[in-house]
């Protein structure tokens, strides 16, 4: 896909309101700007892996598409703090994915962004923003989001177990001006310092409504905290507990029995699971007797 494709769409699809693309590598910045100018009714713009999309494109998007509700700039190489002043004006956003940039947003700019648009967000993905710490959880997320349902912060290694636990404990205890409703999707995978405190706290806060939970890589999560999954999150449909070292046959059996809506579980690296592990749903795992079953 290159400029000729977007040019054709700009002329032949005047009523297009939502665009989702994976890998529009060859589309240049001026053509993105032309496309936005010709689609002022755009409500959704979702792209992944677009190395030529720059801050001038961001400015054009804001100027021409004031009703945008969905924005994905995932794996966009030029995304940085210079985008934030334009993102801050997009107060109608409900879905925002800025995941896996080449350069992380600074924590200060990320907090500032949440202060401007956080109150309307229902989906937020800030995976791979390496400069974000526990302070962002409190000053950015807790202080400003109200209706967030899906939160993804994969590979944000500065997050700590106590810090994430504190975020959910504050919500559970009703602290702060903006007490968020419970979540349906939480993905904090590939964060090696997260474990027992965070898992227990998030299950206490959102267990009853969780549909998707990904804690892959929480190697220090205790056996007791993992046992809380089937007691507090019975409506789970998708679960990833890969590399949670204390996961065993007995806990998985309890999950299978109590989480009746579960469709898929991923257990890669759970070495205490054996070939005797219950297999009532699709399990993706590794070890003796395991595969995709």
pLDDT tens-digit map of 203-250: 999 999 999 999 999 999 999 999 999 999 999 999 999 999 999 999
pLDDT tens-digit map of 55-81: 999 999 999 999 999 999 999 999 999
Using a cut of 0.85, tell me whether the model's pTM lies above it: yes
- Residue 200 pLDDT: 99
- Whether 118 and 140 have beta carbons less than 8 Å apart is answered as yes
Burial of 266 (C-beta count, 10 Å sphere; 0-12/13-18/19+): buried
Helix %, strand %, coil % of the chain (to 5): 35, 15, 50
- Residue 290 pLDDT: 47
- Residue 177 pLDDT: 60
Domains annotated on the chain, with CATH: 104-284 (3.80.10.10)
- Residue 287 pLDDT: 52
Which regions in the chain score pLDDT beneath 50? 288-293
- Residue 292 pLDDT: 38
> What are the φ/ψ torsions at residue 96 (nearest 5 degrees)?
-135, 120
């Amino acid at each position: 896909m290159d400029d000729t494709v977007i040019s054709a769409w700009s002329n032949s699809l005047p009523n297009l309101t939502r665009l989702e693309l994976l890998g529009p590598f060859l589309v240049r910045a001026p053509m993105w700007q032309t496309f936005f100018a010709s689609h002022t009714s755009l409500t959704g713009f979702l792209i992944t892996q677009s190395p030529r999309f720059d801050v001038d494109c961001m400015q054009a998007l804001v100027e021409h598409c004031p009703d945008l509700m969905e924005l994905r700039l995932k794996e966009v190489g030029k995304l940085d703090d210079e985008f934030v002043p334009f993102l801050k004006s997009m107060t109608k956003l409900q879905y925002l994915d800025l995941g896996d940039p080449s350069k992380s947003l600074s924590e200060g700019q990320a907090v500032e962004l949440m202060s401007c648009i956080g109150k309307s967000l229902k989906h937020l993905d800030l995976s791979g923003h390496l400069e974000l710490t526990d302070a962002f959880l409190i000053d950015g997320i807790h202080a400003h989001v109200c209706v967030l349902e899906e939160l993804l912060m994969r590979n944000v290694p500065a997050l700590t177990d106590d810090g994430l636990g504190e975020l959910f404990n504050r919500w559970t205890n009703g602290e702060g001006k903006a007490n968020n409703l419970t979540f349906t999707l939480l993905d904090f995978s590939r964060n090696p310092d997260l474990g027992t405190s965070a898992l227990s706290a998030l299950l206490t806060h959102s267990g009853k409504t969780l549909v998707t939970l990904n804690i892959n890589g929480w190697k220090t999560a205790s056996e007791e905290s993992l046992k809380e999954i089937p007691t507090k999150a019975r409506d789970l449909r998708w679960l990833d507990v890969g590399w949670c070292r204390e996961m065993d046959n007995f806990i998985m059996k309890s999950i299978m029995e109590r989480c009746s809506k579960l469709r898929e579980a991923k257990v890669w690296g759970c070495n205490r699971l054996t070939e005797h592990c219950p297999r009532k749903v699709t399990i993706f795992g590794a070890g003796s007797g395991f595969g995709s079953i």
